[in-house]
Homo-oligomer: A and B are copies of this chain.
Amino acid sequence: MNIVEIKQTLIGKPFPTSREIHERLDKIRALAIFASDPISSNAYATEAIMSVLIVLGSGALPMTLPLATAVAILVLMVVFSYIQTILHYPDGGGAYTVAKDNLGKYPSLLAGAALLTDYVLTVSVSISAGVRAVTSAVPQLFEYRVIIALLAIGFITWINLRGVRESGTIFALPTYAFVGGVMLTIIIGLMRYLGWLGAAPLPVFDEAVPATTSLAGFAYVWLLLRAFAGGCTALTGIEAISNGVKAFQPPEAKNAAKTMVVMGIMAMSLFMGITFLSTHMHLTPIEHGESILSQMTRQISGRSILYFWVQTFTALILFLAANTGYQDFPRLSSFLAKDGFMPRWMQNRGDRLVYSSGILVLAAVASLIVIIFQANEIAMLPLYALGVMLSFTLSQIGMSRLMRKISHLKPGETVNTSVTTIHYERGWRWKKTVNIAGAIITGLVFIILMATKFIDGAWIIALAIPALVFTFAKINTHYQVVAQTLSTRDFSEEHLVDVANVVIIPIADVHQGTLRAIQYARRIATDVRAVCIATSPEVRERIERRWARFPRLTEGIDLVIIDYDYRDILTPLVDYIKTVNEKEFPGWLITVVIPEFIPVERYAQILHNQTANILRRRLRSTEEVIIIDVPYHIPSSD
């Protein structure tokens, strides 16, 4: 089985490019693929608010509901804004494209860098959280958590390499199972709360202690802001669809927008339902203990099948939230690569029409983070959600700019921006207001997150994002230089450099390999010189003797033997080649023919001197030398 067959067995037969349209996602699959991250936030978002408020004592916990409502309103604003983005930028690209079109190069790179860091963290955090769910159940596995996390990354990578439709099918079940289970729990809970189930009223704990610390003024506001910021983890992943518009079946933008609406409603129903019930049930967050969602489900449904259903699919959806990163990272990378800010090969689609390089890069970086943080997602959390907030802010500012442009248009007028087409539309004023409000709030959340978590790890992101922006800019400069250098705009055929009629063949001995090289050299030039570095008189004598045995082939060929009292034969060889180039043929291309053994068994290569390879590397920097490998195959020794 050769490498091509292995690859095909693993990821399936290649799809032709024309099949791309068939690989698009219907709305059911798309929702499962893009929504696993935002929906999975419900496993912890309510608790994230509560665990800040608990500092004030359990009497402060009822504040959770208004804060969660504020978060939900923010989410709806963001969803609204992204629906606008989708409709105005139907080719996809989200915050990066919006910023590029409305704010310029560096803001767009900032948005791109922020999102990429966050996508990588989505994978690392989600996988680690999933592994924690597994090791909580089976503590013996705790010491293998890093390996388990890496295997999980490997699995998700593999599924994604097989193609987006296929991964959509596989990931649909856990997402819908989680939504269904939690939804059912909330409905039963509400019915019991309203007394519709008569006999069994909700258990209410009245142990609530009044706030022991009576914080006032700034400290109190700061704490509320932090609780609010904690709840904003519910926002992560919401922008996914705006990047992936092109993954939808046509009409892409419409389908994407519809899916976005359904996702927003679904995620916020769960969030508000969980928050309402858990505050009215007077649940208290327990550090390192049972989660709020678990407490709620257990008290509502008892230790029923429903409880285990919700628990199981909570663990699974936390794992699968990683998949959102696999949708977003490769796609956004491909946008950046297309614009020349990331390596060009990241825009190539693989055999199964997914951005394979991006998927593999994501898997590698996420694995590295898992290893560095030892699969401890608690340690990663301070780094998380920062990027997404920054990109929200930039995206909303960008959209408000776009709305301003639109405000200048008259009915029926159409204008092309750098990446899209806009025309007059009604309601730009309130759309713009929503965008500005959204920008201010998400910007504020970004500042709060950065300030409160800076020393815990957010500083890494504060360094990483500018470093990425710098790298993008460097890469772009390189591609510009390449384009300029290769450009044929002002190029005419007279500018071509001349090729000298000379070939140099370094030889160490006269054997069938060198004879073949000499024969090849004769074929392409008349001035052929075989160069041998003689490290001892015996070497000189042996070469001369063997050379004489092939008079017909060697006739007219210079045999240059250079005596040399050191072992590093490459130095005089390179010197000779450079001298010929500089003294005899300055400005011309000269040719070096290197005889090279190629053993059939690849590993046998290490048994041979790497002279040919090293010579090639040393001559790379010399612009005017063309290197020809004349291979001589060594059969298997079995």
Contact = CB atoms under 8 A, between A and B. Distances in A.
Interface string A54-88: 00000000000000000000000000000000000
A455 interface: no
A475 to B, nearest CB: 6
A17 B565 contact: yes
A478 interface: yes
14 contacts: A17-B565, A18-B565, A343-B606, A478-B599, A482-B597, A486-B513, A486-B632, A488-B510, A488-B550, A493-B553, A499-B519, A499-B520, A524-B524, A627-B629
Contact of A477 (B349, B479, B632, B637): B637
B566 A17 contact: yes
A630 interface: yes
Contacts of A481: 634-637
B510 A637 contact: no
Nearest to A18: B565
A344 B608 contact: yes
Given A343-B607, A485-B512, A512-B485, A552 B493 contact: yes
A17 B607 contact: no
A269 interface: no
Give the number of times this chain occurs in the complex, counting copies.
Answer: 2
A635 B478 CA distance: 9
A345 B568 CA distance: 12
A383 to B, nearest CB: 26
B609 A345 contact: yes
B488 A546 contact: yes
A567 B523 contact: no
B478 A566 contact: no
Contacts of A351: 566-568
Q: Of A343, A601, A637, which is in contact with the most chain B CB atoms at under 10 Å from its CB?
A: A637
B626 A598 contact: no
Nearest to A15: B566
Interface string A459-492: 0000000000000001101111110011110010
Interface of A: 14-18, 343-345, 348-351, 474-475, 477-482, 485-488, 491, 493, 496-497, 499, 510-513, 515-516, 519-520, 523-524, 535-536, 546, 549-550, 552-553, 565-568, 589, 597-601, 604, 606-610, 620-621, 623, 625-637
A482 B567 contact: no
Given A475-B607, A491-B512, A567-B350, A634 B520 contact: no
Q: Looking at A480, A513, A524, A632, which has the most chain B CB atoms within 10 Å of its CB?
A: A524
A482 B515 contact: no
Contacts of A493: 515, 550, 552-553
Contact of A488 (B496, B515, B567, B636): B515
B634 A485 contact: yes
B343 A520 contact: no
Contact of A567 (B348, B485, B630): B348
Contact of A553 (B16, B487, B496, B609): B496
Contacts of A491: 512, 515
A478 B634 CA distance: 9
A515 B493 CA distance: 9
Contacts of A626: 520, 628-631
Nearest to A629: B627
A392 B82 CA distance: 80
A600 B345 CA distance: 20
A183 B599 CA distance: 57
Contacts of A515: 488, 491, 493, 496
A404 to B, nearest CB: 35
A442 B139 CA distance: 53
Nearest to A514: B486
A21 to B, nearest CB: 13
A68 B17 CA distance: 81
A631 B637 contact: no
Contacts of A519: 496-497, 499
Contacts of A496: 515-516, 519, 553
A280 B318 CA distance: 73
Contacts of A15: 566
